[in-house]
Every structure is written in structure tokens, then in C-alpha cells.
Structure 1
Amino acid sequence: MDTSPAIETTAAPSWTVGAVTVHRIDEVLLPPATGRWLLPDATADLVGRQEWLYPDFAGHDGLLRIASHSFALTVGGLRILVDTGIGNGKERANPAWNDLRTGFLERLTTAGFPPDSVDLVILTHLHADHVGWNTREVNGEWVPTFPHARHVTSRLEREFWATYDMDEARRQMFRDSVIPVEEAGLLDLVDIPAEGVEVATGLRLLPTPGHTPGHIAVELTSQGETALITGDCIHHPVQLAHPDIGACVDIDPEQSEASRRRLLGSLAGTKTLLLGTHFAPPTAGRVIPHENTYRLAPVPAVPKTDSH
């Protein structure tokens, strides 16, 4: 049974960036309480003062709308997936993530990216809601979902978690969603310099540390046009208006804020398309200077979807 509420299962929403089409592969809209837990400083009063957040990114009750999805694109002949969501049938402490049954792989396949065809998986960081579809259960074992894909993440990211004192829930996530990919020889660790590193034609990984030490954003450039996939450097558009608002799970809140401010400052007033990894539909937009900080000017996907 597909538990994703009111999400399109035919044509994946997409945006055109130069010669590249970026598809949003929906997994699930997260419960309304997620935003209040994740961004506790985004109070209803503060959210209510940003009228541009309504109705897409927040409800009139002040609750933030947050989604889980991946982005799929083809560049340089490579079929690429950025982040792999929560996954199906995973044992998770967060009840919103536990034992999901969604049609993610069907939506991915319908968009033209059947699992066996994926060449490159980029993991912005190693959190449970970004690595879950790295594996799927086959005959009681977790096996790589994308068996022919090179899985790339920051070397700093993997090395940090290797020495981190994990609780059982995080150890379980590594056991079912990271270690099987490593044991299959599919995980590549990449050094990410300050200027970023290109991993495919026009596709650059940029360091945006703080949420996790090795967190990366993904920049796409094609025919003079640019897009940027946020990962968890920015969880929600309210952080454009208030870059000081961090997530309760940020490893280094000050560094996370600094990365967010630096990124937003570089995008403000440009034509770069910002694609939020957790932004509810319409998901994408351009960063506009607004009241001493910023706001998002939405750019709807085609076909336009409404998952509210």
C-alpha cells in the first residue's frame, strides 16, 4: 500500500535547467508536527509574519509543510539521483519514518530512472531520511537498490560517523542503508575543497557544513543556467527570512547558520533555481532580497502538482 498522501504517480514534476531536466521524485509529505520539532524556533507567530510562505509552505495554523523527495537528472550521459529518502520497511525511531510503504521506486521508474539504470547516487549527508532507498529488502536481506551506481558522499562525512558515539537507532540506519552499499564496493568517498568538486559534467558538490560536518549541496550548470539542490543546509523556506533558525539535529548550529547565510548571499538576486530537498510543492524558486534577508519566489514544476 502506498502511504504517500495525494502525490502524483504519473509524470514526475520537473524543471528545465539549460539542457537538463530535473525531476522531483516524491516519497512522502511529513506530518504537520515535523516542522515544529525540526525547526523549534520557527514559531507560529514568526511564520505568520512571512505572508509569502502561504499557502504553499505553511498553513494558517503556523505549521510548516515539509516533504521528503529526491531529485533525478541526466547529465553527460549519466543517470543521477540526489539523495534517496527514507526508504520502505526501515525500522526507525521516528514514527513518521518507520516502516513506510510508498511508491517511490515506481515513481522513479515512471520518470525514466529504473533502479538498474541509475549510474550515480549523490548523498548530501548520511542521515536516515537521505540514505533510505540506498537499499531494499530482498529475501530478508538489505541489498543495494541501485546495483550499478557509484554512490558518492563526502569523505569527511563518512569519517565523522565512523568515530561518532551512535545510539542504537543510528547504528541500525547504518546497518541497513549504508554498510550494505559499502560492502558491495559501491560507496565512493570524495574530498570536497572550498571551491567544490565536479563529479559529472556541470555537476559540482559544494561544502555546506554544519548540519553535519561533511554536508554538501549540489550545483548544476547547463547552457548558462544554474540550479542548486540544498540537502539539509536549508530545510524550509522560512530559513530564507530567518537564516538564524537552525534544525534541532544540527551537529554544529553556528557553522550551519554560517553555511546557510553564505549560500543564500551567493544566490540572492541571481537566476539560480533553488531546489529544496525538503521544500513542499512547489519546491523550487529563486532567492529574492526581502526585508534585510530573503524570500523565495516560487517556480512551479511542470506538470504543476498540488499535494496539500
Structure 2
Amino acid sequence: MGTQTAAAATAALPTRHQQRWRVGAVTVTKVTDLLLDMFTPAALFPDWQPELLEGSGSWLSPDSMDAAGVHALMSVHSWVLTSPGRIVVIDTGVGDGKERPHTPVFHRLQTGYLDRLRAAGVAPEDVDHVLLTHLHVDHVGWNTRLVDGRWVPTFPNARYHFSARERAWFTDPANHSDRNRNSFLLQPDSIAPVIDAGQAEMIAIDGREVVPGLSFHPTPGHSPDHASIRLRSEGVEGWFVGDLLHHPIQIRYPELNSVFDAVPAQARASRRWALEQAADSDALVFTTHFPESSVGRVTRDGDGFRWAFL
């Protein structure tokens, strides 16, 4: 996401939805940072029309909206991939103690994320690779943690893989704007310490594998060099789609951009491409902001698509 104007976050974490899946030989575990319950569909989607929810009982699960049916429920979390000899984290949430005055819901948090990571059986020292779909505030925060007044890599033994182009974009003063201010603000506390520690792998987003079985694919539009990450293992596919999708409503209406999508036409094209890839490969789709399990499958429905949570 980019800049937010609302300032409400839920403290309760999901307990009744599945939190662990298999993709071939890889176990994928969801580790939640926080939940969000402040967006109405009209606030989240600039082109929203109320009639789009007519008949939604047939395609929108009840836990995707709050009990009053007013607010779209969302999550911020990491995906932890465990396979023999390797542990990978995809996206790292908001982080604790970060100065985010432009986004009150993310400002100076204390979320218990690391306790939940350890409860999932992973210590920060165990992680071998961190993969970032893009460099927005709610995807990079746990790259680092504060130790003795300094921001240091949370995962001291990991290589951090992320777009070289996004790093350059969000450090070029010519690109500083209200939309991008959080991505500039986070550079000193969430990106630079990783680079300074010699743990960064700044890459081209071109479809090549960066870790065996894991490849970054260009899906720009939400951010300058947004990537979707494909996992292949034992003939099975999973897609980690980052911020191509913010809510299940966008499966039914993929033309709906969120308020956080910087280049609308490009975001729509990337979203449709990814949905087609997921539907045609019968892949598990791991989202970064969907509520409930945050995992499901996309199937074709005429000229459109249908989503089913797992």
C-alpha cells in the first residue's frame, strides 16, 4: 500500500482459518503482522459503485467484510517458505517502532510479529532469504529491528532480494511526492541497513530464478517495479502476488484499481495477466492483504474470474 488516511487497526488475530499449506515439497506458513478494518470499498477503490456488491453472497465470503457489511477486511502478513535446507520469507510487513507519521495505523507499532514467527517454528537467525515484491511501507518493515538504538537486519543470516529499480526510484529526489513519501521515509530504517550490512541482492525483475524454484516476474503499475513471485516445486505452482490484489472484490472486478495503484492502466494489465497465469496453472495464490486464510485459487468464469479461499 501507499499513504493511508484512516487510522484503525484490529488487534485480534485470526485463529479459525488455515495458516499452513503445501506447494510440492515446500511448506508455506502465514505469519500475521496486523489486521486492518478501516476501509469501505468506496474508500479503497476510486471507481467503486455500490451496485457492484449486489448478489455478492454468491461470490464474496462473509469474513471478507465486517459484521455490518460496511468495511472491507484486510491483513498484513509475511509468507514463510520452509523446505529441506532452506527457509525463505516473502514480504516483511510493517515492523515495530517505525516512525510513520503520515500513516497513523503503521506508526510506532508493537505487534508481536516475531513471537508469531517463532511460534511457527522459525527464529530470525534461521532465515536464508528474504524476497520483497516491492518497496512499500507494509512490505519491508520487518527487514530490520531496533537494537541498541540502531536499525539492524532482523534476519542476520539472510540474503535480501529486491528490485534495484525500485531502490533507485525511491531514493531519487525527482520522484518524491505525497504518494511516494512513505517509500522515501522507510529507506534509512528498512532498506539502507540491509545494504550497509552487505546482505542485499538488488536484482532486475525479469523472470529469472533468484533462489531455486522462486522467480520474480514483472507486474508493474501498483509501484514502479512491482513483482509477483512464482514458486515451482514438484510440478506444483504457487504465486505470491503482493499488491496486485488488495481484496477479493478485485477477483470479481479486476478492472478495479485500489487507491494505492500508481499507474492505473498498467496495474489493470498486470492484474489480469497474473489472474490468467494463476487460473491456467491451477496455482495456489498467496495474497498479501486478503483476509481469512489469504490463500485460494482463481478459476475462469466466462470472460472473468472467480475466487475460492482455501
Alignment deviations for residues 109-129 of structure 1 (CA, whole Å, 9 cap, x no partner): 121221111110001100000
Could you state the TM-score of these two structures normalised by the residue count of structure 2?
Answer: 0.88
Is 1:132 aligned to 2:141, yes or no? yes
Is 1:203 aligned to 2:203, yes or no? no
Name the residue aligned to 1:89: 97
Secondary structure of residue in 2 paired with 1:232: helix
Secondary structure of residue in 2 paired with 1:66: strand
User: What is the deviation of 1:18?
Assistant: 1.2
Secondary structure of residue in 1 paired with 2:72: coil
Change (3 A) 1:12 1:106: farther
User: Which of 178, 182, 188 is the matching residue for 2:195?
Assistant: 182
User: What is the deviation of 1:36?
Assistant: 4.5
Q: Which runs of 5+ in 2 are unaligned?
A: 1-8
Aligned residue identity for 2:134: H
The separation in 1 between residues aligned to 2:258 and 2:235, in whole angstroms, is 33
Change (3 A) 1:8 1:241: closer
Name the residue aligned to 2:239: 228
The separation in 2 between residues aligned to 1:169 and 1:197, in whole angstroms, is 29
The separation in 2 between residues aligned to 1:152 and 1:34, in whole angstroms, is 34
User: Which of 252, 261, 273 is the matching residue for 1:241?
Assistant: 252
The separation in 2 between residues aligned to 1:220 and 1:127, in whole angstroms, is 22
Secondary structure of residue in 2 paired with 1:31: strand
Secondary structure of residue in 2 paired with 1:136: strand
User: Which of 60, 64, 70 is the matching residue for 2:72?
Assistant: 64
User: Which of 226, 240, 253 is the matching residue for 1:215?
Assistant: 226
Could you state the TM-score of these two structures normalised by the residue count of structure 1?
Answer: 0.88
Aligned residue identity for 1:244: E
Q: Percent identity?
A: 41
The separation in 2 between residues aligned to 1:269 and 1:169, in whole angstroms, is 36
Name the residue aligned to 2:298: 287
Alignment deviations for residues 126-153 of structure 1 (CA, whole Å, 9 cap, x no partner): 0000000011111222111111111101
Name the residue aligned to 2:127: 118
User: Does structure 1 retain, via aligned residues, the 8 Å contact 2:10–2:37?
Assistant: no
Alignment deviations for residues 214-247 of structure 1 (CA, whole Å, 9 cap, x no partner): 1111111111111111101111111111111112
Aligned-residue Cα RMSD (Å) equals 2.2
Aligned residue identity for 2:44: L
Aligned residue identity for 2:52: L
Name the residue aligned to 2:163: 154
Matches within 5 A, 1:16-31: 16-31=22-37
Change (3 A) 1:199 1:29: same
Structure 1 window deviating more from structure 2 (55-64 vs 210-219): it is: 55-64
Q: Which runs of 5+ in 1 are unaligned?
A: 300-308
Secondary structure of residue in 1 paired with 2:104: coil
Matched residue pairs, number?
Answer: 295
User: What is the deviation of 1:169?
Assistant: 4.3
